[in-house]
Amino acid sequence: MENYRPITKATADKFLQLLKTKGPQSAATLAAALGITGEGARLQLLKLADDGLVVSATSARGVGRPVQIWDLTPLGHAHFPDTHVELTLQLIETIRQELGEAALEKVVAAREYQQQDKYMKAMTGITGLAERLAKFASIRSSEGYLAEWKAEEDGFVFIENHCPICCAATQCANICESELNTFRALMGEDVNVSRVDHIIAGNRRCVYKITKATALAESR
């Protein structure tokens, strides 16, 4: 029967496209647009929800039972083509060719300043090193870096399991140096930060070693 037919990629794409172009919809509205039954639409939406592509919320609309409204998740939005990576690379190369390497360095330096200012404001009042690492990991994870940290006997390690700016960093090495500068500025003058694993160098993830400067000096 139609209601229990396994969802196909073509069917999934139709649901996702409707939610993308028309905004949040009820199962009944989607069903009408696609020419299927309401129950069939609900089953398809539940499968998409299991895949993390859509999410539902209950909405009260006047008199009567609340209506379940479906919308795309961030993963659902990411299902659609995104050319921002290509655009970023084009902009980097255009600046390099039209304005020169010095101009590109100025752009990277300006971004570094903006990043540091943003992070500093978000971490205002947080003084402990572990607390700062925890907050920074939370911020970076929200930006797509899948960050985590852990304490070790001689300090801490900060891990970024994904690099959302990897393509840009590959074309402009100064970006990675800028990222390290920002990390060092956030941790403070009494802290040593070194990158021990680097995605650009072929490692699976970027790993930073964080050590108190006093502890490092005493170990020598």
- CATH of range 2-77; options 2.60.40.2470, 1.10.10.10, 3.20.20.70, 3.20.20.60: 1.10.10.10
- For the segment 147-205, what is each residue's pLDDT rounded down to a tens digit? 999 999 999 999 998 888 888 898 998 999 999 999 999 998 889 999 999 988 988 88
Write the pLDDT tens digit of every residue in 41-79.
999 999 999 988 899 988 776 666 788 999 988 788 777
pTM greater than 0.85 (yes/no): no
- Pair 174, 154: CB distance under 8 Å: no
Q: Check if CATH label 3.30.1380 holds for domain 84-218.
A: yes
Q: pLDDT tens digit string along 107-147?
A: 999 999 999 999 999 999 998 999 999 999 999 988 888 89
Quote the pLDDT of residue 86: 82
